[in-house]
Amino acid sequence: MDENWNGILNVYKEAGWTSFDVVAKLRGILKTKKIGHGGTLDPQVTGVLPVAVGKATRLLEYMEATGKIYEGEVTLGFSTETEDAEGEVVALTPVLTKLSENEIDTVMTEFLGKIQQVPPMYSAVKIKGKRLYEYARAGQTIERPAREVTIREFVRTGPIIFDETVKTAKFPFRVACSKGTYVRTLAVDLAEKLGYAGHMSRLVRTAANGLAIDKSLSLADIEQARDENRLSDCFYPMELAVTELSKINLTEDEFLAAKVGKKFDEKFLTELSKISEPRFAAFYQEKLVAVYIKHPVEAGIWKPQKVFYNEQV
């Protein structure tokens, strides 16, 4: 029988685990089927994996849409088929002269803002009903449409390390980016702009959905908390999932309307006209009541996308 756990977990995903593996393990630890993660991490990537449990799973789409922060490493000198350290080498460009820190830093600024990325062949993007990695494993390379992503920060965080024996150069970086960003592709594109074949040689997700790596819990930590009857200490409230949405605090009358799914008109709720985003989170007494979106047809009208009153207040 399922336990009544509701909320968000800040899970530290270890190398070698898929995000699905983590969720499957947590289903057993928590004895619940209602669980999902807020943003996939590749198996070799470690770090923060937000996990929604119970009623919080209705908020997964907002968790997945939040920005992420990563710390990693770029290696110049050779590229791989998977764009990371796991794949077979496909191109060699020996680093014969030392690059300057200023040169690298200047090129990195060219990636800030909205950029176009072509998803790597070894990715889970679906084209014509198949995952790209399925084509790649069959030895096929197909056209992939570019997608727009946003890079809020992309900086070098340490010195350049040259290896004269294997003729490579590597340096650490930090990137803050939007949903859908392939950091390994960013590393490859940076290397290309610097004039080299390259790949992402290491990556850790240090923050996602307002959750930081220094507060994350391993699966062993969560299992121990269960055994010691203190699982409730591991959960964040479900309101955390909407931290990046605009927030409006409702009056009692507005709350009574929102909890039964009524629309709002900007003429009467003037705060709405100040919101530039397509949705907002409606709160009453610090509890999430509903998420509203702009009406697709009626100008100045906002309608509920999801109402949480029955579960929250």
Which residues form the catalytic set?
A: 42
The residue with tokens 């699905």 is 20
Show the 3-state SS of 220-246: HHHHHHHHCCCHHHHCECHHHHHCCCE
Compute CA 242 distance to the chain's CA centroid, rounded to the nearest angstrom: 14
Q: Is 191 left (phi over 0), alpha (psi -120 to 50) or beta?
A: alpha
3-state secondary structure of 266: coil
> Which tokens belong to 251?
């009056």
3-state secondary structure of 49: strand
DSSP code at position 112: -
Residues, the chain, total?
313
- Strand 264-265 and strand 279-284: the pairing is unpaired
d(CA 109, CA 70): 16
- Residues 6 or more apart in contact with residue 71 via CB below 8 angstroms: 157, 172, 173, 174, 203, 204, 206
Residue 49 class from Cβ within 10 Å (0-12 exposed, 13-18 middle, 19+ buried)?
buried
Beta bridge partners of 303: 293
Give the amino acid at 12.
Y
d(CA 49, CA 68): 10
